[in-house]
Amino acid sequence: MLGVTYKSEAAHVFSDAEVEELAEKAAEFNASVGITGYLYYAHPVFLQYIEGETEAIESLMEQIAKDPRHTIVATAKDEDRVSRRFPSWSMRLFQPGRDPEINLQSIWSDMLSIEALDWPGERSNSIWRCIEKISSTQA
Ligand SMILES: Cc1cc2nc3c(=O)[nH]c(=O)nc-3n(C[C@H](O)[C@H](O)[C@H](O)COP(=O)(O)O)c2cc1C
C-alpha cells in the first residue's frame, strides 16, 4: 500500500458548493477503487492525504496533478504501508471552523505553517505525526 500527502495551491477561490461537489465526486470514485483519505481546504491551500493500492494511488495522483483547478507545490510519500490510517473515510472534507466536534485547528496550522519549499524536507516527521493525530480522531 502507498500513502501520499501533498500540498497545493488553488487556482481560484472555491465556493462551499464547489469544494463539496469535488469531495463528493472524489469520494465516489475513491470508494470504487479502494482509496481512502481526507481533503482539507483553507484558501489558497489544499492539503490532501490518500492511501490505497500503489497502482491505484499512482494513477489517481497523475489525474490530480493534471487538474487545472490547483497546482501541487509539495508531495510526500509513505511507501510499503501495511494498514490504512483512514479505513472509513473515502474522502473526508475538512474546512476551517467547520468541524467543531474535532479540534483539528492546531494540527492544521502546524501543517500550514510548514513553508512550501521546505515541505516535507526536514519537517517530514512532523507531517506524518500530524496525519497520525488526524487519524486518531476517526470515529
Ligand atoms: C484538490 C483536489 C483533490 C482531488 N482529489 C480527488 C480524489 O481524491 N479522487 C478523485 O477521484 N478525484 C480527485 N480530484 C479530481 C481529479 O483531479 C479529477 O478531476 C478526477 O480524477 C476526474 O478526472 P476526469 O474528469 O479526467 O475523469 C481532486 C481534484 C482536486 C483539485
Q: What is the CATH number of the domain that holds 37?
A: 3.30.70.100
In the sheet where 36-42 sits, what is the strand order?
70-78, 2-10, 45-52, 36-42, 92-94
Q: What is the pTM of this model?
A: 0.91
Contact by Cβ (8 Å): 6, 48: yes
Count up the domains in the chain and report the number. 1
In a structure prediction context, what are the per-residue pLDDT tens digits for the chain, which is 139 residues long?
Answer: 999 999 899 999 999 999 999 999 999 999 999 999 999 998 888 999 999 999 999 999 999 999 999 999 888 899 988 899 999 999 999 887 776 555 666 677 767 765 554 566 666 777 888 888 889 888 6
Structural domain that includes position 38? 2-135
Q: What are the CA-CA distances from residue 69 to residues 14, 19, 75, 91 (Å)? A: 9, 11, 17, 18
Pocket, ligand 1, Cβ cutoff 6 A: 8, 22, 26, 29-30, 39, 46, 48, 50, 60, 63-64, 67, 69-70, 91
